[in-house]
Structure 1
Amino acid sequence: MTGRSDTEPVVVRVDRDRCIGSGMCALSAPESLALGADGLAAPLAEFADGGAELTDELADAVDLCPVEALTLHSARGGYRIDPAE
């Protein structure tokens, strides 16, 4: 992962038009992501709003998404961390 700062809080964004609800993300990082009532990925509260610590499981979940629907962004600066643009 490029641009990663181990101390920087991150937020997860889900491209709901891309997400197919495979569940790989929720299985990989259940403390960070879940499938919502609509069957699509949804970040848990702290990863959706204020930001939380980036874990290896969350980084893996982003990398494992089969349709690249997940992106990590800096909670402080808003810039994209992973995947690289």
Structure 2
Amino acid sequence: MGDRWHVEVDRGLCIGSGMCVGTAPEDFRLDSARQSCPVTPDRDPSETVLEAAEGCPVEAITITLADSGEAVFPPEDD
């Protein structure tokens, strides 16, 4: 896990459930509109960030490799 990640939240999909904040409180916060925001969009890989993305009920969180843009989550279909 040496590649850096870029974490984004699609504000059009985010419903503000707070699941990501509950799973990874150091990595996500809810803004004044109750929408999720990554605390550090470009970051080292983290199991808790991946768990938060996997647990998002509307799949609003995407993780890509910062250098190549290759999908980490959700994985691209082959």
Q: Counting strand residues as a fraction of each chain, which structure ranks higher?
A: 2
Task: Normalising by structure 2, report the TM-score.
Answer: 0.89
SS at match of 1:11: strand
Distance across 1 between alignment mates of 2:6 and 2:30:
16
Q: Could you list the runs of 4 or more consecutive aligned residues of structure 1 that deviate by over 4 angstroms after TM superposition? A: none
Unaligned runs of 5+ in 1: 1-5
Deviations 1:41-83 (A, max 9, x none): 0011x32xxx211111101000000000001011111222111
Aligned counterpart, 1:3: none
Residue 14 of structure 2 corresponds to which residue in structure 1? 19
Pick from 62, 65, 71 the counterpart of residue 74 of structure 1.
65
Q: What is the match of residue 23 of structure 2?
A: 28
SS of residue paired to 2:43:
coil
| AA partner of residue 65 (structure 1) | C
Across the aligned residues of Structure 1 and Structure 2, the Cα RMSD in angstroms comes to: 1.0
1:83 matched to 2:74? The reply is yes
Identity %: 36
TM-score (norm: length of structure 1): 0.82
Q: Residue type matched to 1:31 in 2? A: E
Task: Specify every segment of 5 or more residues in structure 2 that has no aligned partner in the other structure, as ranges.
Answer: none
